[in-house]
Amino acid sequence: MGSKGLGPTNSLPEHPTNLLDFQRMFRDEEACLRYLEKLRWPEGFICDKCSAGGEPFRIVSRPRVLKCRSCLYESSTTSGTVMHRSKTSIHVWFWAAYLIATQTPGISALELQKRLGIARYETAFQLLHKLRAAMVRPDRDKIGAEWPLEMDVVFVGGKHKGGKQGETRQTPVIIAVEIRRQEKRNPSTSKVIERALAGRVRLQRLPNKVAGSIDRFAKQCVAPGAVIVSDDGSEFADLIAYGYAHKPITMRGDREKMDTHLPMVSRVTANLKTWIDGTFHGVRKHHLQAYLDEFTFRFNRRFYRSISFQRLLGLGTLRVGPTYRETYSVGISREKAART
């Protein structure tokens, strides 16, 4: 999965499976840098410029630099990862990546700042946002090729505090979930029962709830010809014309019907809202997509949490790692400390 330029996945170094493991493996800055080096060059260092192999020169005062013995070109251990050019220590980055990847609810910037003793709130905030940007693989798969999908538009966010009465900051978000089928044997009766479970999800903030927005999302995220179950709202009306096997069901906002016909979407929506309220106490509208991406990353890897840590160090995006700014096109340096 997304291991460009890294060689076969089986040559990757071991990853920590619990907190004690993590502490043992990453005692200090040097241990973290050596680990990154192994991730980038699993078969040993190779110069970026002249492709010569062999142990590089190391510079004590610049521990992130590896200097080629043949051409003296200086490679950086962190280039192409989310940590590139960061003034924050790699040890702190490793801790942040580990905490965000392995804690079930994730972590807020304020909590991260306290736990790791980071001096400025803004540093913790930017660190988390850069990690969030690393959670989206630019070339990620479209879903729906193997399994049917449930799709719905939900509204995320609450009412403005102190805003005009009735004014809301609710944002439409489209959710698509794979409906996977799993066969399970009942141990007492030996009968095989089939059950549905939520597979991968895709979530996107929409500018509005009209057909054009849904069509754009489908084109980006859903495999051609996918089977899509949704309500019969006019916003889904074009899906057939775009070649999807669309199955609209009349629900008219009836909660019970939604839970029956769109059970996966209902579950993902409930999880998303609980997570945003519980971990971040609400989210600003212009950051919403970053949190949706974190939710997606977390949900899609809920059974493979320990490997998420490696992924987050920038692995899948090595050499093409987008910055937060490139991913979301917003100026984070100008963010006032949004306490999210």
Binding footprint of Zn ion on the chain (CB under 5 A): 47, 49-50, 52, 68, 70-71, 73
Q: DSSP labels for 271-300?
A: HHHHHHHHHHSS--GGGHHHHHHHHHHHHH
> At closest approach, how far in Å is the CB of 73 from Zn ion?
4
Of 22 and 45, which CB lies nearer to Zn ion in the complex structure? 45
Other CB atoms within 10 Å distance of the CB of residue 183: 8
Contact predicate 228/246, CB 8 Å: yes
Of 68 and 239, which CB lies nearer to Zn ion in the complex structure? 68
Cα dihedral angle (181, 186, 187, 188), rounded to 10 degrees?
A: 180
Rounded Cα distance between 319 and 338, Å, is: 30
> At closest approach, how far in Å is the CB of 47 from Zn ion?
3
Of 52 and 223, which CB lies nearer to Zn ion in the complex structure? 52
Rounded Cα distance between 150 and 143, Å, is: 11
Closest CA to 284 of 218, 220, 328: 328
Residue 58 DSSP SS3: strand
> At closest approach, how far in Å is the CB of 44 from Zn ion?
14
Work out the angle between the directed axes of helices 305-312 and 90-102 (0-180°, nearest 10): 140
Of 73 and 155, which CB lies nearer to Zn ion in the complex structure? 73
Of 49 and 115, which CB lies nearer to Zn ion in the complex structure? 49
Of 70 and 182, which CB lies nearer to Zn ion in the complex structure? 70
Closest CA to 296 of 143, 193, 167, 191: 143
* b/e map 198-211, b = 16+ CB within 10 Å: bbbbbbbbbeebee
Rounded Cα distance between 205 and 275, Å, is: 16
Which amino acid is present at 65?
A: V
Other CB atoms within 10 Å distance of the CB of residue 47: 21
Q: What token pair was written down for 131?
A: 């990690």
Which helix or strand (DSSP H or E) is residue 162 part of? none
Give Dmax (Cα) for the chain: 70
> At closest approach, how far in Å is the CB of 72 from Zn ion?
7
Of 54 and 207, which CB lies nearer to Zn ion in the complex structure? 54
Of 49 and 120, which CB lies nearer to Zn ion in the complex structure? 49
> At closest approach, how far in Å is the CB of 313 from Zn ion?
24
> At closest approach, how far in Å is the CB of 67 from Zn ion?
9
> At closest approach, how far in Å is the CB of 147 from Zn ion?
47
Residue 269 DSSP SS3: helix
> At closest approach, how far in Å is the CB of 9 from Zn ion?
26
Of 57 and 225, which CB lies nearer to Zn ion in the complex structure? 57
> At closest approach, how far in Å is the CB of 56 from Zn ion?
9
